[in-house]
Homo-oligomer: A and B are copies of this chain.
């Protein structure tokens, strides 16, 4: 199963250690895993100076290298942010442990007791960008769900991640948990990411986190099963019967409340028969909030203060205060547009027509479909999962917001007393 020729000997050693650690992790009790998390939370706080010193090296390199302001901000760790990371780990302690949950079970007519129970995946690989908070977040979620994890963060955060992983490993050691449960392959550079993607047999599932391009690369190159998360070209459709106030409030909230995240609105579709009634009010509220509007011709007739939306305006994930607006003939045209351009993350219809609501919910093939609600609600915490592992835009294994149970597999346990098949 284990072919170190494909991924290099040094990395294979790390992955073999991860596999060994996963065997002991899978047998830890919830109390033991929570003790490990508590030790990590504690040691993050007590080692804050060391973390900040390492992070300052990364940040300095970023500044000199001309890293964009936004990325520099995501990279930076402060005392306050480290305290938030610690707090996030403590919140994971409070979550129910999915491991051991019985999904279904029965006693068969022949007396065999058959049950399907949740078990850890084993070894999770994570490939992400220069955000040291993801290091802590993924490690804590993996540990709580009984998984070993091998991390490959962005090279721009290499010093920060190295120190964070050292602190995690020392914390694990302090409570008697195998420190190789959390490892990084950052020191192998791009080869580390390549190895994780080819490590079928070593790594049970790979989770990429970051830009659409990063995720696409992992999806294309990985032979390890991938959980695809992220990119959200999110649509709202204002149907003919949409209430004006509801339309104005939901579009504003979906676009403006936090434009940099994947559940933020990117394209607004408006029913032709409602365009004159709704567009002025909806777009005025957006313009007042500083949103740049890229609109088709019909929209610009009704609200001239827009940029021209070219053919490449649709299907764009801005993650900024930009929005594309298009008038469509009817519900079918709206669904067609969404089918063509959506990343299948979240779409919402604003309507008072029950039949149209039902058709939209049934025919739009996205992870989350909504009626009269802001797309910003697509979120693990909002759905009541406590922590969020990410938002899956694929259909296999998990779809939509993922919680801890989505970091587990299942196993069938069969207990007999000598039964044979007739």
Question: A residues touching B (Cβ–Cβ < 8 Å)?
Answer: 23, 26-27, 106, 108, 112, 114, 116, 119, 121-122, 200, 204-205, 219-220, 223, 225-227, 243, 245-246, 249-250, 252-254, 257, 339, 348, 357, 361-363, 365-374, 376-378, 382-384, 394-397, 399-401, 409-421
Chain B residues with Cβ below 8 Å from A419 are: 372-374, 377
- Knowing A399-B410, A420-B376 touch, does A106 contact B384 (C-beta < 8 A)? yes
Quickly give the copy total for this chain.
2
| Cross-chain contact B400 with A253 (CB below 8 angstroms) | no
Is B26 in contact with A420, judged by CB distance below 8 angstroms?
Answer: no
Tell me how far the C-beta of A401 lies from the nearest C-beta in chain B, rounded to whole angstroms: 8
List B contacts of A374 (CB < 8 A): 416, 419-421
Q: Contacts A205-B395, A371-B416, A400-B410 known; list 6 others, CB within 8 Å.
A: A26-B365, A227-B396, A245-B418, A249-B420, A257-B420, A399-B410
B219-A414 in contact (CB<8A)? no
Residues of chain B contacted by A357 (CB below 8 angstroms) = 415
B114 touching A412, Cβ below 8 Å: no
| With A225-B225, A227-B396, A395-B205: A373-B411 Cβ-Cβ less than 8 Å | no
Asked whether A373 lies within 8 Å of B414 as measured between CB atoms, the reply is yes
Is the beta-carbon distance between A399 and B409 smaller than 8 angstroms? Answer: yes
Q: Are B27 and A416 closer than 8 Å at their CB atoms?
A: no
With beta carbons under 8 angstroms apart, the residue of B200, B220, B367, B417 that contacts A372 is B417
**Given A27-B362, A363-B27, A384-B108, A421 and B376 touching (CB < 8 A)?**
yes
Contacts of A371 in B (CB 8 A): 414-416
Q: Are B373 and A205 in contact, CB atoms less than 8 angstroms apart?
A: no
User: Cβ of B112 and Cβ of A394 under 8 Å apart?
Assistant: no
- When distances are taken between beta carbons in the complex, the residues of chain B under 8 Å from A365 are 23, 26, 119, 122, 411
Among A27, A220, A411, residue most surrounded by chain B Cβ atoms (within 10 Å): A411
- Whether B373 contacts A412 by the Cβ 8 Å rule is no
Contact yes or no, A366 B411, CB < 8 A: yes
Does the CB pair A368–B414 fall under 8 Å?
yes
Contact (Cβ within 8 A) A369 B122: no
Q: How far is the CB of A181 from chain B (nearest CB, A)?
A: 16
| Residue of B whose beta carbon sits closest to that of A361 | B413
The listed residue (B26, B366, B412) touching A367 by CB distance below 8 A is B412
With known contacts A396-B225, A420-B250, A415–B373 Cβ distance under 8 A: yes
Do residues B223 and A377 form an inter-chain contact, with CB atoms below 8 A? no
Residue pair B114, A413 in contact (C-beta under 8 Å): no
Set of chain B residues within 8 Å of A220, measured between Cβ atoms = 223
In angstroms, Cα B395 to Cα A121, docked, is 7
Contact of A368 with B412 in the complex, beta carbons under 8 Å: yes
* Shortest Cβ distance from residue A417 to the other chain B in the assembled complex, whole angstroms: 6
